[in-house]
């Protein structure tokens, strides 16, 4: 574990430790009102270190971010995630996607976690994300 992540985790409550581990296992963080900035920073740091997409579910919607500087979406990735966002979205053009991040706000509350799972799976498909450190 890197020093920055360890510093973020110092002072975590038992619930924060449990949520950190749960987020690592499920592939996304639930940004509930009780989630602290330290938990968000620690999870983002873990994602960056492991070349894992930072995906969050909140009351506002679902968001992903390719934290590591060397990661970016390919054109295939933009197209696949755009199709996914259109499938789950309640309105046309209610999402944004670029090479590093995407966000969708108009999603039914019961669809937010299923969408986060699908984003996580889609970002693992070969050809969706490019890592310039590995090429």
Cα–Cα distances (Å) from 1 to 65, 88, 126, in that order, read 21, 35, 27
Neighbours of 85 (CB within 10 A): 24
Please indicate, yes or no, whether the overall pTM of this predicted structure exceeds 0.85: yes
Question: 104 forms bridges with which residues in the sheet?
Answer: 62, 95
Task: Please identify, in words, the CATH class of the domain defined by 3-126.
Answer: alpha beta
What does each of the 135 residues of the chain score in pLDDT, given as a tens digit? 567 777 777 778 888 889 999 999 999 999 877 788 888 999 999 998 888 999 999 998 999 999 988 999 999 999 999 999 999 988 777 899 999 999 998 899 999 999 999 999 999 999 999 998 876
Name the nearest CA neighbour of 57 among 7, 4, 110: 110
């Amino acid at each position: 574990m890197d020093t920055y992540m360890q510093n973020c985790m110092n002072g975590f409550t038992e619930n924060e430790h449990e949520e950190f581990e749960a987020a690592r296992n499920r592939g996304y963080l639930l940004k509930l009102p009780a989630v602290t900035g330290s938990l968000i920073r620690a999870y983002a740091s873990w994602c960056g270190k492991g070349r894992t997409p930072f995906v969050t579910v909140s009351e506002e919607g679902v968001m992903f971010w390719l934290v590591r500087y060397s990661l970016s979406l390919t054109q295939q990735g933009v197209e696949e995630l755009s199709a996914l966002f259109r499938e789950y979205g309640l309105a046309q053009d209610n999402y944004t996607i670029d090479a590093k991040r995407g966000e969708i706000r108009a999603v039914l509350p019961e669809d937010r976690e299923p969408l986060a799972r699908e984003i996580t799976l889609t970002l693992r498909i070969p050809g969706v994300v490019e890592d310039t450190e590995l090429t």
